[in-house]
Structure 1
Amino acid sequence: MTKEMRRLSIVMLFMFLSLFVATSWIQVVAADDLAQADGNTRSLLDSYEIQRGSIIVDGMPIASSVPSDDEYQYQREYVDSPMWSNITGFFNPALQSSTGIENALNGDLSGTGASAFLAEIERIVSGQPQRGFSVELTPDADAQRAAYEAFGDKQGAAVAIEPSTGRILAMYSTPGYDANELAVHSAAEAEQRYNELDALKPNPLVNNATADVNPPGSTFKVLVAAAAYATGEWTPESTLPNPARYALPGSNNQVRNAWGGTCGSGDTVTIAEAIKLSCNIPMAELAVELGSETIFAMAEKFGFNQDFTTPLPVAVSSYPQGLDDAQTALSGFGQGQVTATALQVAMISAGLANDGLIMKPRLVDAVIGNDLSTVREYPDEEFGRAVDADVANDVTAAMVASVADGAAQGARIDGVEVAGKTGTAEMGGSNPYTLWFTGFAPADDPQIAVAVVVEDGGGMGQSGSGDTLAAPIAKKIIEAVLNK
């Protein structure tokens, strides 16, 4: 064989192997992703002929399919939809559209995913009609209802997490919508209603719990304190200067505490006291002492600047790298360029509650087959360790003091030690504040960590606070879980 023939043979062999690997990858590894891709209309159309599985919470369906007398055979129905719509999303064959869990787990719900392969063979053999699998979610229905009722007509979101597992116990976004209005089989009617909702400000179709970012305000102080303690150079009793005004480094702009005075009566104040009373100036000073890179590293350990799903997509919370001293000072009390979702702020509290170990937040417990067998379980997964247990305990002590007799007394619960931190974030100029609370309970044996964000000032402009508006909502959610 000539040299040229050998080279040609090698090239042909390489091309054959490449084709074999590519086709194997498509048919085996990537088959499910490709089948459920938005552009794959064949799988989508096939799924309309199948009775979709239910979406289940606490053993009861919050979304299910019933027979229909039109071309699509089944009509999707949602129970208490405004309370659950940000989680379930909607499914509409007439629009060839789906969102939320209906979209994220379409392969299971429609019976067209890789997990349904054996069930499809059994169906063909038995002659039974194909049905999708049901999906069992993690939320606690009482906690979700508590959030729904406590928010009333306020705008914002709440997320509650079981610290030891990462299971999401509540995820509520308001304003919400009725998914039944978007599941109708009249394409014109559904599209009209979708466009009406999409044009509203704020947009009910946006999940404020995972897709909306805001300055976290003073809730971010607990992360800054954790970053300080983790260096080993600072403790809760370390002191900082206590002026009534603080000029941002390299700027004529000044920072004040919310009440305009000093943080207590002394010339200096401890970090623990600054957390308890929610003082801006000492936390700005501390942030500059630590430097932006130290805070950046801690923020990333808690989940900032990272992309993940629950399986719903989550907007990236941001702590930018390379902030100057003025912006670093602002970040010390959750202002400036730092932004976070409600889920991210809940993860901070959940990590502190779990001795510094953050579990990956998840909304799904299991996929259930038509014979009630478990097709797939979703295990608890570690997101990562943010801090050591002693650091978490030190931050927790200040948060407990804040609820007991500090700036977060709106979250107090008789007979329960609650750890918490409020936040009141300025949105620029005369815009209403964004109001926060985050915390967990019981402080010595945490069962629930929660974050509540009330947007647009809760209808009170700049006169509301995290303690008066966000903390009472969190209290109701915590009580719903602890009183079961």
Structure 2
Amino acid sequence: MNTPLRRLANVTIVMFLALMMTSTWVQFVRAPDLNSDGRNVRTLYREYDNSRGPIVVGGDSIASSAPVDTPFGYQRSYTQAELYAHVTGYYSVIYGRSGIEQAMNTELNGSADSLFYSRLQDLITGRQPQGAAVELTIDPAAQQAAWDALGDQRGAVVALDPTTGAILAMVSKPSYDPNLLAGHTTSEVTENWTALNEADGQPLANRAIAGNTYPPGSVFKLVTAAAALEDGLAVDEQIPAPDELPLPLSSAVLGNFGGASCSSSGTQTLGDALRVSCNTAFAQLGLDLGAELIGEQAEAFGFGTRFTVPMESAESYFPPDPDAPSTALSAIGQYEVRVTPLQVAMVSAAIANGGTQMSPYLVDSVRSQDLDVVTETSPSELGQPISPETAAALQEMMLGVVADGTGRAAQIPGVQVAGKTGTAETSSDVPPHAWFTSFAPADDPQIAVAVIVENGGTLGSEATGGAVAAPIARAVMQAVLE
């Protein structure tokens, strides 16, 4: 072979090798990314050409797919759409997925590894492939009660089973209709998306677990009280409770809600301080304990952790190394302390469950189209943030809040309800948020609840957690207990 032919052969071999390497890279290495790319119309058509599995609550489908005469094959639709919007999420040709639609996508579209044998059976029998049904832990009565009681107010409600971690209710308002984003006419879907994003109140945000985090106000006193009890303070031990507390290193003075006096003697027991939600007592307690101890207790309850339920929650936050006045304010749930309603419900649930905190979860089971259980969630312990003794002490203190304290509006005849109110300031020119968290029955807890009503709801600047949020929690607890 002469030199020019040899060179041409070498170039040809190199070109073939480059072509083989490139095609191998695209078909094997890049394939997963290309398949999941939202711009890949073939993947989109293939996914929509299969019947997507339903999302089920209480035996009824709240999201399902039906065949349509379009290139996409099936149309996704939602019943009781706004009630469950932040649970199901949306399934959109243009904007992808959210909520359970996103978190359980491979199960719903039938491509999950756990559904391999079901897919193999479909292949052998020639049966039309279909996604699995995802059954949720939501209690329909609790969900409806939370929706109705929250009314037109902005806020969120989360309810848990303290003994398992199962989420019984998850409501966020304002809500939206996922059907607006499920259509196949791109111009209409785009218009609806724009309108939802420009709507007042951010209806697409799931305030219950992953919207903006909130200052918890006095519901955080449960964490401070837990830290004090774990440090050796007794429920009946006297602590300072002045009418006003000068904050160290500053000229600021902290008072109690409405300028009230917690105790004529200037001291009161830890139990009474929680019952009447005494700001000065807990701020001084925070100074005595120190930010490090309170921060460690908050972390033990789950602050700083993103929970996967299977949607991912936002992290609740306790500030690291605050100075003395900031520590006093942090101890009463102000300054930079931020929480999700899910986190607040988890604190109450751990107290109700004897100090054992369970992992929260929203998916009960996954079933194939033959109704066989493919996977089922088993309750699991997340940790032990407090001792059983501390939990018992906090239970008694929270009973006092509802029986003869700031949370009387949560009382249920014939049922022992334990709770804690909160009124969280955001700024001087905006009404405070109203909080309430509780569990019942206290002697056999079946439900733990957290409620937030943004900026006082219908009562505005006159709102308190006891007046606005406690009745909502009561309605949700009654729905489960009845």
Query: Does the TM-score normalized on the shorter chain lie above 0.5?
Result: yes
| C-alpha deviation, 1:38, in angstroms | 6.8
Does the alignment pair 1:73 with 2:59? Answer: no
Alignment partner, residue 453 of structure 1: 452
Does the alignment pair 1:189 with 2:188? Answer: yes
Alignment partner, residue 175 of structure 1: 174
- Structure 1 letter corresponding to 2:78: Y
| C-alpha deviation, 1:115, in angstroms | 2.1
For 1:463 and 1:70, locate their aligned partners in 2 and report how far apart those are by CA, in whole Å. Answer: 54
For 1:431 and 1:126, locate their aligned partners in 2 and report how far apart those are by CA, in whole Å. Answer: 64
For 2:51 and 2:374, locate their aligned partners in 1 and report how far apart those are by CA, in whole Å. Answer: 17
- Structure 2 letter corresponding to 1:181: L
CA distances 1:146-201 after superposition (whole Å, capped 9, x unpaired): 01111110000000000000000000000001111111111110111111111123
Q: How does 1:257-406 map to 2 (within 5 A)?
A: 257-406=256-405
For 2:33 and 2:242, locate their aligned partners in 1 and report how far apart those are by CA, in whole Å. Answer: 58
Does the alignment pair 1:53 with 2:53? Answer: yes
Larger radius of gyration: 2
For 2:35 and 2:53, locate their aligned partners in 1 and report how far apart those are by CA, in whole Å. Answer: 18
Query: Does the 8 Å contact 1:32/1:114 carry over to 2?
Result: no
| C-alpha deviation, 1:40, in angstroms | 7.7
| C-alpha deviation, 1:96, in angstroms | 5.1
Q: 1:128 and 1:294, CA in 2 relative to 1: closer, same or farther beyond 3 A?
A: same
Q: How does 1:73-222 map to 2 (within 5 A)?
A: 73-93=73-93, 95=94, 97-211=96-210, 212-222=212-222
CA distances 1:316-353 after superposition (whole Å, capped 9, x unpaired): 11012211111110011111110000000000000000
Q: Aligned residues: percent identity?
A: 43
Give the TM-score normalised by structure 2. Answer: 0.91
Residue segments in structure 1 that go unaligned for 5+ positions in a row: 1-22
For 1:396 and 1:453, locate their aligned partners in 2 and report how far apart those are by CA, in whole Å. Answer: 21
Q: 1:393 and 1:418, CA in 2 relative to 1: closer, same or farther beyond 3 A?
A: same
Q: 1:99 and 1:124, CA in 2 relative to 1: closer, same or farther beyond 3 A?
A: same
For 2:37 and 2:288, locate their aligned partners in 1 and report how far apart those are by CA, in whole Å. Answer: 48
Query: Does the 8 Å contact 1:43/1:112 carry over to 2?
Result: no
- Structure 2 letter corresponding to 1:88: T
Q: Identify which range, 81-90 or 304-313, moves more after superposition.
A: 304-313
| C-alpha deviation, 1:34, in angstroms | 9.9
For 2:33 and 2:61, locate their aligned partners in 1 and report how far apart those are by CA, in whole Å. Answer: 26
Q: 1:248 and 1:40, CA in 2 relative to 1: closer, same or farther beyond 3 A?
A: farther
For 1:99 and 1:36, locate their aligned partners in 2 and report how far apart those are by CA, in whole Å. Answer: 15
| C-alpha deviation, 1:92, in angstroms | 1.8
For 2:409 and 2:45, locate their aligned partners in 1 and report how far apart those are by CA, in whole Å. Answer: 51
| C-alpha deviation, 1:46, in angstroms | 2.5
| C-alpha deviation, 1:125, in angstroms | 1.1
Query: Does the 8 Å contact 1:32/1:113 carry over to 2?
Result: no
Q: How many residues align?
A: 455
Alignment partner, residue 468 of structure 1: 467
Q: 1:235 and 1:81, CA in 2 relative to 1: closer, same or farther beyond 3 A?
A: same
| C-alpha deviation, 1:429, in angstroms | 1.5
Alignment partner, residue 231 of structure 1: 231
| C-alpha deviation, 1:241, in angstroms | 1.8
| C-alpha deviation, 1:36, in angstroms | 6.3
Q: Secondary structure at the match of 1:462?
A: helix
Q: Secondary structure at the match of 1:109?
A: helix
Q: Secondary structure at the match of 1:423?
A: strand
Q: How does 1:19-30 map to 2 (within 5 A)?
A: none
Q: Secondary structure at the match of 1:102?
A: helix
| C-alpha deviation, 1:44, in angstroms | 4.5
Q: Secondary structure at the match of 1:375?
A: strand
For 1:165 and 1:187, locate their aligned partners in 2 and report how far apart those are by CA, in whole Å. Answer: 42
Q: Identify which range, 305-314 or 131-140, moves more after superposition.
A: 305-314
Does the alignment pair 1:410 with 2:409? Answer: yes
Alignment partner, residue 62 of structure 2: 62
- Structure 1 letter corresponding to 2:215: P
Residue segments in structure 2 that go unaligned for 5+ positions in a row: 1-24
Q: Secondary structure at the match of 1:460?
A: helix
- Deviating above 3 A after TM superposition, structure 1's stretches of 4 or more consecutive aligned residues are 31-45
Q: 1:307 and 1:192, CA in 2 relative to 1: closer, same or farther beyond 3 A?
A: same
For 2:286 and 2:41, locate their aligned partners in 1 and report how far apart those are by CA, in whole Å. Answer: 52
For 2:360 and 2:259, locate their aligned partners in 1 and report how far apart those are by CA, in whole Å. Answer: 38
How big is the alpha-carbon RMSD for the aligned residues of Structure 1 and Structure 2?
A: 1.9
